[in-house]
Amino acid sequence: MPNALVVYGSETGTAKSAIKEIIGDWKKSCPTITCSLKSGNEAAAMWDTVTSSAYQYIIVATSSYGDGDPPSGYEKFLFAVQNAAKESPDKLKGIEHSVLGFGSTSYETFMNCPRLTDRALGLAGSRRCLMRAEVDEMAEDPDEEKDKWVANMTKVLKGKANPQGGEVCGWDEPGSKVLEKNLGPDGFEVADKVGASGPLIPILVAVAAAAYYFLVVKPKQDMEREE
């Protein structure tokens, strides 16, 4: 019996309530599929068990928060997937995935977390079986994209679409703009020591030296010339 790990990231509850309702419908229309619903951090806590022998699908429903950050309770999952993409690119081999994203185009970082998640899942070895849906709450009918994704994902789960093979599309469809997030194991963003802290010290030294020259050395030299 195929198993699906369903992971959600939800700051305000929208993504969580939506995917719970969707799972309820799948229990009726796809009774042969077992869906295990977990928050992102719950899924991260059992990351070692997330293999193709345990799950055929990883289905993610998430929004972004703040400056394109992962929602509270999801950040450790995003770190786990991004880390696997770098350290264990075959970790999710044999698993298929799709992402249902929630957001608003009123923010510059629209869909940042769903896009980062989708990209990382693919880089960690999972096969994209359905293009990511990007639900925009500013759209005239926000549910249109979600309903379309649900209908197509239902076909996938029933084995009536997308036979095993290459990915149906790249992670950059339907959008590719992202703000990179360098997360630590605790799921919180960490500074790039080389890119951020490294150049800061010589800059501060230069500023201090310039200030000392103009405030101390130069006035003293000017006074000596006048004498």
Q: Which residues contact 126 (CB under 8 A, 6 or more apart)?
A: 58, 92, 93, 95, 96, 97
Task: Answer yes or no: CATH 3.20.20.70 is held by domain 3-157.
Answer: no
| Lowest-confidence region among 73-82, 97-106, 161-170, 212-221 | 212-221
DSSP tag of 140? S
Over the stretch 71-93, which tens digit does the pLDDT of each residue have?
999 999 999 999 999 999 999 99
pLDDT at position 100:
98
pLDDT at position 195:
41
pLDDT at position 2:
82
| Lowest-confidence region among 110-119, 131-140, 162-171 | 162-171
At 50, is the secondary structure helix, strand, or coil? coil
Who has greater pLDDT, 158 or 211? Answer: 158
Contact 125, 92 (CB under 8 A): yes
Over the stretch 173-215, which tens digit does the pLDDT of each residue have?
999 999 999 999 999 898 754 443 344 444 444 555 555 555 6
Buried b (16+ CB within 10 A) or exposed e, 150-186: bebbbebbeeeebeeeebbeebeeeeeebeebebeee
Helical (H) or strand (E) element with 43: helix 40-45
Quote the pTM value: 0.83
pLDDT at position 217:
53
Who has greater pLDDT, 212 or 168? Answer: 168
Who has greater pLDDT, 191 or 104? Answer: 104
| CA atoms of 110 and 104, how far apart (whole Å) | 6
